[in-house]
Amino acid sequence: MDEPIQPSSKAEGIEDAIFALTGKDRRMSIVISTCMTCDATDVTSGLRDDLSRDEYGISGMCQTCQDSVFGGPE
């Protein structure tokens, strides 16, 4: 089993802004493995590779949402 993904470090003001925009706690969403964008659950099992895992720790977006924002694999 992979290690749990930890939220990246952000300034508290950034975390506050994310919460104000989304109504969601980015750090908690990552800890409990939900998507900040579409509310999917157990998202870490569907992450494609280390780059996607790193991005999840930054944005909290599942693989489907990452693909829609950044483009999928070629």
How far does CA 24 lie from the centroid of its chain?
12
Residue 71, pLDDT score: 92
Q: What is the C-alpha to C-alpha distance for residues 27 and 7, in angstroms, rounded to an integer?
A: 5
How crowded is the C-beta side of 14, counted as CA atoms within 13 Å?
8
In the block, residue with structure tokens 């790193």:
54
Cα–Cα nearest to 31, from 53, 55, 7: 7
CB atoms within 10 A of CB 28: 12
pTM of the model: 0.91
pLDDT of the chain, 74 residues: tens digit per residue: 468 899 999 999 999 999 999 999 999 999 999 999 999 999 999 999 999 999 999 999 999 999 999 998 77
